[in-house]
């Protein structure tokens, strides 16, 4: 479900897959070939949310901000993740049930482990693995680095299959 609020309508690229069972409202922009899956909520009521190209917001994730949130290209936000403001760079994998609190800054090519808590105002450098509660950053191994080289391609293809089957919200081209 895509809704306007206060005269502001989400801007979603026509190539996106948007599940009819998600909720997107307000000042939200989503780039080409991105997807939002059932149960996800993206709420741009207090601030602007931008999501780049080829990014994925999986089932039951909550994306919100008090002022601004920038999510880069090729970002995989997996099941039941909570993201609340700040910035997530490009080529980032956020594991299931992780929480990223207000104004955290996640660099490029990062892997945030399942159930990890990234504290408010944390600064995570490029190429980091973050695990734990609270999350602690360490350098990625070579195998972990390969995981974030292209974390979303499977979901980009899956979203195209859903669109081809006529599933999801009807989007107006922009």
pLDDT at residue 173, rounded to an integer: 45
Query: Domain 2-164 in CATH: superfamily?
Result: Hexapeptide repeat proteins (2.160.10.10)
pLDDT at residue 172, rounded to an integer: 59
Counting Cα atoms < 13 Å in the Cβ hemisphere of 113 gives 16
Calculate the alpha carbon distances from 35 to 10, 11, 12, 93 in Å. Answer: 14, 13, 10, 15
pLDDT at residue 171, rounded to an integer: 77
pLDDT in single tens digits along all 174 residues of the chain: 999 999 999 999 999 999 999 999 999 999 999 999 999 999 999 999 999 999 999 999 999 999 999 999 999 999 999 999 899 999 999 999 999 999 999 999 999 999 999 999 999 999 999 999 999 999 999 999 999 999 999 999 999 999 999 999 877 544
Listed by start position, the domains of the chain span 2-164
* Cα–Cα distance for residue pair 61/156, rounded to 1 Å: 17
Q: Which pair of structure tokens corresponds to residue 127?
A: 């190429």
Block residue for tokens 């070579």:
142
The backbone torsions φ and ψ at residue 19, rounded to the nearest 5 degrees and listed phi first, read -60, 140
Q: Which pair of structure tokens corresponds to residue 71?
A: 């999510």
Calculate the alpha carbon distances from 6 to 9, 25, 26, 38 in Å. Answer: 8, 10, 7, 25
pTM of the entire predicted model? 0.96
């Amino acid at each position: 479900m895509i809704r306007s609020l206060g005269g502001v309508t989400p801007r979603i690229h026509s190539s996106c897959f948007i599940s009819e069972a998600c909720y997107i409202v307000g000042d939200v922009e989503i780039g080409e070939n991105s997807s939002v899956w059932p149960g996800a909520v993206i709420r741009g009521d207090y601030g602007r949310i931008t999501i780049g190209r080829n990014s994925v917001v999986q089932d039951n994730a909550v994306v919100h901000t008090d002022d601004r949130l920038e999510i880069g290209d090729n970002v995989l936000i997996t099941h039941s993740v909570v993201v609340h403001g700040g910035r997530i760079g490009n080529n980032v994998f956020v594991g299931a049930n992780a929480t990223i609190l207000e104004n955290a800054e996640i660099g490029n090519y990062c892997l945030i482990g399942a159930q990890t808590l990234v504290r408010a105002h944390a600064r995570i450098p490029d190429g980091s693995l973050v695990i734990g509660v609270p999350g602690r950053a360490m350098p990625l191994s070579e195998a972990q680095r390969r995981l974030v080289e292209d974390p979303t391609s499977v979901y980009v293809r899956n979203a195209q299959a859903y669109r081809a089957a006529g599933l999801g919200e009807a989007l107006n081209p922009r």
